[in-house]
Homo-oligomer: A and B are copies of this chain.
Amino acid sequence: MSNRVPVGLSNKHVHLSQKDINILFGEGHELTSIKDLGQPGQFACDEKVDLVGPKRTIKGVRVLGPARGESQVEISLSDGFTLGIPDVPVKGSGSLVGTPGIKLVGPKGEVELEQGVIEAARHIHMNPKEAAEFGVKDKDMVKVKAEGERGLVFENVLIRVHDSFALEFHVDVEEGNAAMIQNKQMLEVIK
């Protein structure tokens, strides 16, 4: 079925710059992969950090690798309430200007991020061949339909096309639970 995409559920996680890795885990530390993720080259790390919000701390949040140019914290709306950051903006990955900051605590030090806390906007990764098959291009918006007793249609789903991408529809845990969908479940794309 060329009009279907597999689900990839995103739990809260942190991407780190090498500068912040050095502070949190020690100078020259390299992230330790424990599991490959759906997108080629991306991996879950053994490393975890604590998120210290104005209201509460969420301990032991997974770091995803590899290191990036700028640190980024991806959480759900519920996590934002827990931390005391109720107005976390919905953003595409890497769009961090004007987003809230937060304190990260690791085993060797702590970092006060001035910005970088987002809720990831729903999106579909695909390579150019898949984009051609779907008849879409980078930055298009589509809908994705989930069937079942908690069926719903996700609107405003961003298409992201790159040679390095694998076909995957990324939503956060609350979006996934609202639709009662599972990892790798195939959902219909509606243009």
Interface of A is mostly: mixed
Asked whether A177 is an interface residue with its Cβ less than 8 Å from the other chain, the reply is yes
Interface membership of chain A positions 153-177, coded 1 if the CB is closer than 8 angstroms to chain B and 0 otherwise: 1111000000000000001011101
Give the nearest-CB partner of A149 in chain B: B90
Residue among A77, A152, A155, A180 with most chain B CB within 10 A: A152
Cross-interface CB contact of A178 among B121, B149, B151, B178, cutoff 8 Å: B178
| Least Cβ–Cβ distance between A148 and chain B, in angstroms | 8
* B180 & A177 in contact (Cβ 8 Å cutoff): no
A residues contacting B by CB (< 8 A) are 76-78, 90, 121-122, 149-156, 171, 173-175, 177-180
